[in-house]
């Protein structure tokens, strides 16, 4: 961002994905389960929270989108609100 002369402080950043994907992605060659439940994906082992915290340390406005994640569980475990309903914030970079 700095090399492209994009303002870092107060930038709006979107992170796509929060869940620990091993728990929710199908094995190679297998179709996605139609009856997958929102509570299936695991947010406890996510490393995305480290990226989130690092970006916040630069005073960035960070949004996280994950349609698999249970928003209430993410709020309870990490204290952050995620987007999983298709809302479209105005953003600078998308990770």
What is the 3-state composition of the chain as percent helix, strand, coil, each rounded to the nearest 5?
20, 15, 65
**Cα 6 from chain centre:** 22
Who has greater pLDDT, 91 or 74?
74
Predicted local confidence at residue 34, as pLDDT? 47
Express each pLDDT in 18-69 by its tens digit: 987 654 555 555 445 444 454 557 788 888 999 999 999 989 889 898 888 8
Among 7-11, 36-40, 41-45, 72-76, where is mean pLDDT lowest?
36-40
- pLDDT over 90 at 94, yes or no: no
């Amino acid at each position: 961002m700095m090399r492209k002369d994009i303002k870092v402080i107060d930038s709006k950043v979107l992170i796509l994905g929060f869940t620990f994907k091993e728990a929710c992605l199908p094995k190679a060659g297998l179709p996605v389960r139609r009856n997958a439940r929102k509570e299936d994906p695991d947010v406890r082992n996510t490393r995305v929270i480290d990226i989130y915290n690092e970006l916040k340390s630069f005073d960035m406005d960070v949004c996280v989108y994950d349609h698999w994640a249970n928003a209430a569980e993410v709020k309870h475990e990490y204290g952050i609100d995620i987007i999983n309903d298709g809302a479209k914030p105005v953003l600078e970079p998308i990770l």
